[in-house]
Amino acid sequence: MVRTRIPPSPTGQDIHIGNLYTALINFAVAKKNHGKFIIRIEDTDRTRFQEGAEEKILSSVKAFGLHYDEGPDIGGPFAPYRQSERLPLYKKHAEELIEKGAAYYCFCTKERLDELRQQQIKEKKTPRYDKHCLILENGERTRLDSRRRVDARRGIENGEPYVVRLNVPANKTITFTDVIRGEIAINSNDLDDQVLLKSDGFPTYHLGVVVDDHAMEITTVIRAEEWISSTPKHVLLYQAFGWELPAFAHLPIIRNPDKSKLSKRKNPVWASWYLEQGFLPETVLNYLALLGWSHPKEEEIFSLETFIDLFELSDVKPVGPVFDLVKLTWMNQQYLQNKTDAQLKKLIIEFSPRATKLSEETLTALMPLLKSRMQTLQDFEAQTWLFFTNKLPDGTDKELAAELLEKFTGITDWNHAMIFAELKSIMLARKVKMSVFYQLFTGEKHGLPLPEVLEILGKDKTLELLKLAIV
Ligand code: GLU
């Protein structure tokens, strides 16, 4: 059975929009294959841990409708789904690697490591651990160095801080197949003896991810491009354990319009920001789906179900797609326009609870006017400002207000056609444009069609606002 996962780290405010993209692809691959989509929390970096981040990540993933089958809050057959609750497992596996000669204890102090680094930089070498703790005094490398082992044991017993490092073999070609990018080969000489288990007993990403992906029977590892350089290290670990490799796919990194990596400074990066701005979750998913993939018929608007149906991981293009807020906004407008009045009303009430202050009749009447004119749900409050005010905007043209008051008072059948007829006669007589009325009523130059809006607002309320404006 296909099993995919995302292992977000609770180190930020929420799930990053790039990780939501990764989540979408993982979700789609699992659903397409009638498999399972899993969330595992990678909370092993205690220095960057943020209280509340996990809850926020999980609630965002749910808000976007990417329902997971197993996770820290719902459990599952491979619980726990939080790495901080799985520490004995990593320790056990680190020891297994040491037994096999694929890893070793390292007692080097920070001072020694800093010195080594400085020295290597000076010699224009890539900074890298020198296997000091693996090398015998006579300079030979060994995997069964009993003396070192005894030393290590003694060190551990004496409470000396240590880490466990990956013993990268020299000059070996490591290959793996990426579903999106094809075969990737790298020479082991380019890899560092990465720390696997830290001195605080927590695993690093590399050990944690491999142990858990294997333990949780993950079949397809789909993650962002930035992790490609980690994969060869993982391959070494899989080989050392004698485990079968999962399929790997590295998704392209989403970029800002200037092609830099999507960052907080240029674009909003937290997934919930888009919901707070009034984008619909399905718009965001539809938009993300099109990053790096296109619909076979070049369609732009499609449902999650359609995407799951048509999507093939191997069709993802590896080049960095650009995140374009303008296109997302256009797409959201299409989505809002395609809603029924009842659906739109429900969405608006959920987004702007103050909408319930309006009568059911008023809200219902506003829907057809709003529908084609909203880019995001936030537009509701801006567009219907007149319904929530007791006073027209400052700087009213009192003379114009007085004339309107007089003309409107005379309307017996209050409807948009009659209202428009009166506005038209004033426009002709004063040689002014419709925008002066918008200005008077809303402070803006345009907005929802004014005669229709005033019809819904009602004669009494309209006259009352005009009266107040001329005193
Ligand atoms: N913690 C990493 C992230 O949030 C996980 C990378 C992976 O999927 O292996 O991107």
| Residue from 5, 9, 41 whose mutation best tests the ligand 1 pocket (most atoms within 8 A of CB) | 9
Query: Is 8's C-beta closer than 6 angstroms to any atom of ligand 1?
Result: yes
* CA of residue 225 to ligand 1 center, whole Å: 10
| Residue from 11, 218, 223 whose mutation best tests the ligand 1 pocket (most atoms within 8 A of CB) | 223
| Ligand 1 atom nearest 5 alpha carbon | 8
Query: Is 42's C-beta closer than 6 angstroms to any atom of ligand 1?
Result: yes
For the chain, 471 residues long, give each residue's pLDDT as a single digit of tens.
Answer: 999 999 999 999 999 999 999 999 999 999 999 999 999 999 999 899 999 999 999 999 999 999 999 999 999 999 999 999 999 999 999 999 999 999 999 989 999 999 999 999 999 999 999 998 886 434 454 444 445 555 667 777 788 899 999 999 999 999 999 999 999 999 999 999 999 999 999 999 999 999 999 999 999 999 999 999 999 999 999 999 999 999 999 999 998 878 777 776 667 889 999 999 999 999 999 999 999 999 999 999 999 999 999 999 999 999 888 999 999 999 999 999 999 999 999 999 999 999 999 999 999 999 999 999 999 999 999 999 999 999 999 988 999 999 999 999 999 999 999 999 999 999 999 999 999 999 999 999 889 999 999 999 999 999 999 999 998
Burial string for 107-143 (b: 16+ CB within 10 Å, else e) reads bbeeeeeeebeeeeeeeeeeeebeeebbeeeeeeeee
Catalytic residue chosen out of the listed positions 264, 317, 327, 445: 264
| Ligand 1 atom nearest 6 alpha carbon | 8
Told to judge if 259 belongs to the known catalytic residues of this protein, a careful annotator would answer no
Query: Is 385's C-beta closer than 6 angstroms to any atom of ligand 1?
Result: no
Q: Name the residue at shortest CA distance from atom 10 of ligand 1.
A: 8
pLDDT confidence of residue 124: 95
| Ligand 1 atom nearest 209 alpha carbon | 9
| Ligand 1 atom nearest 8 alpha carbon | 4
Query: Is 20's C-beta closer than 6 angstroms to any atom of ligand 1?
Result: no
- This prediction's pTM: 0.92
Closest to 92 measured CA to CA, from 81, 82, 103, 80: 103
pLDDT confidence of residue 338: 97
Query: Is 223's C-beta closer than 6 angstroms to any atom of ligand 1?
Result: yes
pLDDT confidence of residue 267: 72
* CA of residue 135 to ligand 1 center, whole Å: 33
- Name residue 360's amino acid: E
Q: Name the residue at shortest CA distance from atom 4 of ligand 1.
A: 8
Task: Identify the structural domains of the chain with CATH numbers, from first to last.
Answer: 87-197 (3.90.800.10), 389-470 (1.10.10.350)
* CA of residue 223 to ligand 1 center, whole Å: 6
Query: Is 251's C-beta closer than 6 angstroms to any atom of ligand 1?
Result: no
